[in-house]
Amino acid sequence: MPSPSLSEIAGVLAASRRILMFTHVSPDGDAIGSLLGLGWLLREQGKDVTMVDADPVPPELLFLPGVERIANQPPEGPWDVIVALDASDIPRLGSPFQPARLNGAPLITIDHHVTNLRFGAYNWVDPSAAATAQIIVHLADAWGIPITKPAAICLLAGLVTDTRGFRTSNVTIDVLATAMRLMESGADLAEISERTLNYKPLAAIRLWGPALEQLQVRGPVIWTHVTRAMREQVQAPDGSDSGLVSFLLEAPEASIAAVFTEKPNGRVEVSLRARPGLNIADVALALGGGGHPQAAGCSVDGPLAEAEVRIIPLLLAVLEPEGRS
Ligand SMILES: [Mn+2]
């Protein structure tokens, strides 16, 4: 099936009344920002909207308007249409996404991950977009509907967080023009940046201590791990490490950074970052994950030490010139 246009997707949404929306597990600012932003736009068009995310909203996003409406399980249907945002495959949507319970309602996926598996009936995947929130603005334009202040605040939060304050290599003139539009609609860039980017829970800062003591460097790859014992030591609950992997890549000696995190179920979550021009999305995809060329991740079998031994050579191989052995 050829890709639908954004106006066709707008047409499907316009013709629907009961709309169920999902975003990815361990939600970030773009997941929550695009979920809430599209939620506002749809409600303003008179739609009955239900927003679902399996995991709690991170504390730095709780100021976003409408956040209290996000449920962690969908109520009973039926639904006219389902929307999946910022998620490249079905497992990313977590346990609340049960295709069997959706009564055959068509699924629209809207995403900017290059690794998106196009698992919907209508898929709009734009890897040139810096955030799914940016695509939601394009969708509103294709639909011809206005962007109100609460929607603008949520969408700008998505754009600010996914570009780490407009610093990533995918920040184009269109991204800045989109941000300007959202500011014109009433979103406060300085306040959103302050609340989302300048935020690290004390427990996460404490966790960086033992994690940084385990730092390893091999050639241009820098990495560390976060164990269950470290979390217990500093009494950091399971959850975010507040961008430890991005911090590691600030070392000028490093081209690729990785953080291996031991999860309560024994699996290992791998966060990857790379400098512009490199691509670690393919490594993440081959390991069952996904992401962007410069920011990707996956979840692999433990134990931790074995995961590191297996994955570090794959990262070193990304840096090898083609054909060299
Ligand atoms: Mn995103």
Compute the distance from residue 243 Cα to the ligand 1 centre, in Å.
15
Compute the distance from residue 132 Cα to the ligand 1 centre, in Å.
5
Mean pLDDT confidence for 172-198: 97
Q: Which of 90-104, 242-256, 291-305, 311-325 shows the lowest mean pLDDT across its residues?
A: 311-325
Q: How far apart are CA 121 and CA 111, in angstroms?
A: 14
pLDDT for position 1: 52
Compute the distance from residue 50 Cα to the ligand 1 centre, in Å.
20
Compute the distance from residue 113 Cα to the ligand 1 centre, in Å.
7
Compute the distance from residue 292 Cα to the ligand 1 centre, in Å.
9
Mean pLDDT confidence for 97-113: 93
Compute the distance from residue 76 Cα to the ligand 1 centre, in Å.
28
Compute the distance from residue 87 Cα to the ligand 1 centre, in Å.
8
pTM of the predicted protein model: 0.90
Of residues 14 and 54, the one with the higher pLDDT is: 14
Compute the distance from residue 112 Cα to the ligand 1 centre, in Å.
6
Mean pLDDT confidence for 155-171: 96
Structure-derived torsion over alpha carbons of residues 129, 131, 132, 134, reported in degrees to the nearest 10: -70
Average pLDDT for the chain:
94
Compute the distance from residue 134 Cα to the ligand 1 centre, in Å.
9
pLDDT for position 101: 85
Compute the distance from residue 232 Cα to the ligand 1 centre, in Å.
30
Q: Classify the phi-psi angles of 58: left when phi > 0, otherwise alpha if psi is within -120 to 50, otherwise beta.
A: beta
Compute the distance from residue 66 Cα to the ligand 1 centre, in Å.
19
Compute the distance from residue 36 Cα to the ligand 1 centre, in Å.
13
Compute the distance from residue 325 Cα to the ligand 1 centre, in Å.
35
CA dist 88 to 8, 49, 56, 129, Å?
A: 21, 22, 20, 14
pLDDT for position 325: 44
Kind of pairing between the strands at 216-218 and 221-226: antiparallel
Kindly indicate the confidence band of residue 322, based on its pLDDT and cuts at 50, 70 and 90: low
Kindly indicate the confidence band of residue 80, based on its pLDDT and cuts at 50, 70 and 90: very high
Q: How far apart are CA 101 and CA 246, in angstroms?
A: 38
Sole residue written with tokens 């939620």: 39
Kindly indicate the confidence band of residue 84, based on its pLDDT and cuts at 50, 70 and 90: very high
Compute the distance from residue 323 Cα to the ligand 1 centre, in Å.
33
Q: How far apart are CA 231 and CA 88, in angstroms?
A: 29
Mean pLDDT confidence for 40-52: 98
Q: What are the pLDDT digits (tens) for 296-313?
A: 999 999 999 999 999 999
Two tokens at 313?
A: 């050579």
Compute the distance from residue 30 Cα to the ligand 1 centre, in Å.
5
Q: How far apart are CA 123 and CA 174, in angstroms?
A: 22
Compute the distance from residue 164 Cα to the ligand 1 centre, in Å.
11
pLDDT for position 155: 98
**CB neighbours of 19 closer than 8 A, spacing ≥ 6?**
13, 42, 47, 48, 49, 50, 79, 80, 81, 82, 83
User: What is the 8-class DSSP label of residue 238?
Assistant: S
Structure-derived torsion over alpha carbons of residues 89, 298, 294, 59, reported in degrees to the nearest 10: 90
Q: Is the pLDDT of residue 83 over 80?
A: yes
Q: What are the pLDDT digits (tens) for 222-266?
A: 999 999 999 999 998 887 888 999 999 999 999 999 999 999 999
Q: How far apart are CA 296 and CA 273, in angstroms?
A: 7
Compute the distance from residue 157 Cα to the ligand 1 centre, in Å.
11
pLDDT for position 116: 95
DSSP state letters, 153-166: HHHHHHHHHHTTTT
Mean pLDDT confidence for 40-46: 98
Q: What are the pLDDT digits (tens) for 106-144?
A: 999 999 999 999 999 999 999 999 999 999 999 999 999
Residues 107, 82 contacting (CB under 8 angstroms): yes
Of residues 283, 292, 291, 286, the one with CA closest to residue 315 = 283
Helix (H) and strand (E) counts in the chain: 11, 11
pLDDT for position 77: 85
Mean pLDDT confidence for 4-19: 96
Compute the distance from residue 229 Cα to the ligand 1 centre, in Å.
31
Q: Is the pLDDT of residue 17 over 80?
A: yes
How deeply is 315 buried, as exposed, middle or buried, from its count of CB atoms within 10 A (0-12, 13-18, 19+)? buried
